[in-house]
Amino acid sequence: MTLPKSSPPLMTLALLACCALPSVGYAGERVVLVNGTVIEATSVTRSAGSVEIDLGFQILSVPAASIVSLESSGSGSGSGSEGGSEGGSGSEGGPSSEHMGDDPSADPIDDGQGGVRLYREAADGADRSLDANISRVGEAVVLVRTPVGLGSGFMTHSEGYLITNDHVVEGSTELTVVVYRQATDGLRKDEYKRIRIVATSELLDLALLKIEPDDEDERFVTVPLSDSNDLVQGEGVFAVGNPMGLERSLSEGIVALRSRLSGGQTYVQTTAALSPGNSGGPLFNMAGEVIGVNSQKIVSQGAEGLSFSIPVNQVKAFIDSQEAYAFDTLNANSGHRYYAPPQQGHGSDEPSEQTQDKQQEKTR
């Protein structure tokens, strides 16, 4: 599989940024790159697939995929980057921001019915390298833990809404969500224990959860949802999740088949390696857009690379129709698991082999 060309060497961009910062003492543009580098520029000009950054003494051409956002440095009242920062704290003089492509923390658009849609769709659709993709989507992929197992999930709305599998959370309302954030001293794990189950569907194997943070103003990085109709057999994909409890693991493969019928439901068949713990996590295309929710795989002697994800269009329909799947707190799962009644001809109260297999299969 041929991966797209990587962005310019980060060391080069970092050195250029260091050269540029001391020379800025006036209003201009602030360019934020995916690796965290900030470049102060006199002006910025867009062109097809790239951005021209004028440093005053040199013009840089940077791929648009390498840029997180463009921000106005302020009104120019400050005499430097520090002064401009302080002077920009008010609502009138504060910096304005324009995000390139899909903004990892942007709120979704109005749903046209007086509410806000709890997901955002793809913006530019430009393929990126795996490194660039992980930098953009890594914080949006979370771990979902219950008293009996764990799975994965991903953030769809900056106020804390996330998607996972129904079988990851079924039988438990005591949930913990772990968000992995990049910090100056390395990776930081933030645990949230106030989790609200918004909607669930056993048939679709989907669940919509809501993190209730202590700080109501806290926002989360999100990922955009693609369109199942745009899938191409053979295109590159990658999955991020927590297989067997191994946090933030990455696997890649291709779309083996756009639509595979199994158990009355359609799935995206992929060769990306999935294991217990990947359940509920996202399957991405090379633009960093979610194309499916990892759900199951075939485990059999001689079977390799047979993994299945719920198509993203089904996920969008589930979120849009969340009221129909609303979690009933008056009839909530209590955490108890009940065996199916004995099949005719079975003279024992022991669960059938099929029931045992189903329980083991759905325990994550």
Residue-wise pLDDT for 140-175, tens only, equals 999 999 998 899 999 999 999 999 999 999 878 899
Domain endpoint, select from 99, 134, 153 = 99
Whether 205 is catalytic is yes
Number of domains in the chain: 2
Q: Annotated catalytic residue: which of 102, 135, 205, 307?
A: 205
Tokens for 185, please give them: 């001293």
Burial class (CB in 10 A: 0-12, 13-18, 19+), 254: middle
Whether 249 is catalytic is no
Is residue 177, in this structure, part of any structural domain at all?
Answer: no
pLDDT category, 306, cuts 50, 70, 90? confident
pLDDT of residue 357: 40
Is residue 46, in this structure, part of any structural domain at all?
Answer: yes
Whether 190 is catalytic is no
pLDDT category, 359, cuts 50, 70, 90? very low
Domain endpoint, select from 69, 99, 129 = 99
Is residue 76, in this structure, part of any structural domain at all?
Answer: yes
Is residue 128, in this structure, part of any structural domain at all?
Answer: no
Task: Read off the pLDDT of each residue in 212-240 and give the average, rounded to a whole number.
Answer: 95
Please, what is the end-to-end C-alpha distance for the chain in angstroms? 31
pLDDT of residue 289: 96
pLDDT, mean over the chain: 76
Burial class (CB in 10 A: 0-12, 13-18, 19+), 193: exposed
Tokens for 329, please give them: 């707190």
The secondary structure of residue 121, as a DSSP letter, is B
Instruction: Give the domain CATH number at 240.
Output: 2.40.10.10
Instruction: Give the domain CATH number at 50.
Output: 2.30.30
Strands 59-63 and 67-72: unpaired
Is residue 117, in this structure, part of any structural domain at all?
Answer: no
pLDDT of residue 332: 52
Q: Which of 151, 160, 175, 162 is nearest to 207 (CA)?
A: 162
pLDDT of residue 145: 95
Is residue 108, in this structure, part of any structural domain at all?
Answer: no
Task: Confirm if 270 and 304 have CB atoms less than 8 A apart.
Answer: no
pTM over 0.85: no
Question: What digits encode the pLDDT tens for the residues 98-140?
Answer: 444 455 555 555 544 445 789 999 767 789 999 999 989 999 9
pLDDT of residue 330: 66
Q: Annotated catalytic residue: which of 102, 167, 251, 295?
A: 167
Is residue 81, in this structure, part of any structural domain at all?
Answer: yes
- Least confident piece of the model among 26-30, 213-217, 328-332, 336-340: 336-340
Question: What digits encode the pLDDT tens for the residues 39-54?
Answer: 888 877 776 556 778 7
What percent of the chain has a predicted confidence (pLDDT) above 90? 44
Task: Read off the pLDDT of each residue in 250-267 and give the average, rounded to a whole number.
Answer: 93
The answer, yes or no, to whether residue 7 has pLDDT greater than 50, is no
Which contacts (CB < 8 Å, 24+ apart) does range 48-56 have? 49/126, 51/100, 53/29, 55/16, 55/19, 55/20, 55/23, 56/20, 56/23
Task: Confirm if 221 and 99 have CB atoms less than 8 A apart.
Answer: no
pLDDT of residue 353: 39
Domain endpoint, select from 268, 295, 312 = 312
Is residue 18, in this structure, part of any structural domain at all?
Answer: yes
106-130: string of b/e by CB count within 10 Å (b at 16+)? bebeeeeeeeebbbbbbebbbbbbb
**Who has greater pLDDT, 175 or 243?**
175
The answer, yes or no, to whether residue 360 has pLDDT greater than 60, is no
**Which domain covers residue 80, as residue numbers?**
10-99
Angstrom distance (rounded) from CA 169 to CA 153: 11
Q: Annotated catalytic residue: which of 66, 228, 279, 295?
A: 279
